[in-house]
Amino acid sequence: MTALKWSRYLQRWADYVIRCQVEYPGPITTYTNFGKISNGGNIYNIVYNWGNEGYNVNKKLETGCRTPADRERCNHNVIVRNEFLREYACAARNCQSGIRQLTCIYR
């Protein structure tokens, strides 16, 4: 797999779309992963646990994922492992509910 590179362009999108109650995706041509953890929890754990989803895109997810124009079913792991993606950015936000929201956008 080619290593993903951080994108300032996607970082602006991630900062713009991240919300506590709604999972807004990035631009229509991008992939998006969402995650939640209790405030103070380690974001690393969210991303690490995405690997446990394997390649089963029919499994019900606790938080969502999006593909460009919602054309395909997905899970978080399938998006992260997509061999055609080259750039990504993430944003995290502490919510009043005691939950930390994560949004990662890939292209």
Domain of 98: which CATH number?
3.40.33.10
pLDDT above 90 (res 40): no
Residue 40 is classified by DSSP as T
User: Which of 51, 24, 21 is CA-nearest to residue 36?
Assistant: 21
> Phi first, then psi: what are they for 17, rounded to 5°?
-90, -15
pLDDT tens, residue by residue, 49-75? 999 999 999 999 999 999 999 999 999
The average pLDDT across 64-93 equals: 96
pLDDT above 80 (res 100): yes
pLDDT above 70 (res 81): yes
Query: Would you state the pLDDT for residue 1?
Result: 65
Q: How confident is the model at residue 39 (pLDDT cuts 50, 70, 90)?
A: confident
Pairing label, strands 65-66, 87-94 = unpaired
pLDDT tens, residue by residue, 1-36? 678 999 999 999 999 999 998 999 999 999 999 999
Domain count of the fold of the chain: 1
The H or E element containing residue 38 is: strand 31-38
Torsion angle of alpha carbons 13, 16, 18, 19, nearest 10°?
-160
**Domain residue limits at 58:** 5-106
Query: Would you state the pLDDT for residue 2?
Result: 72
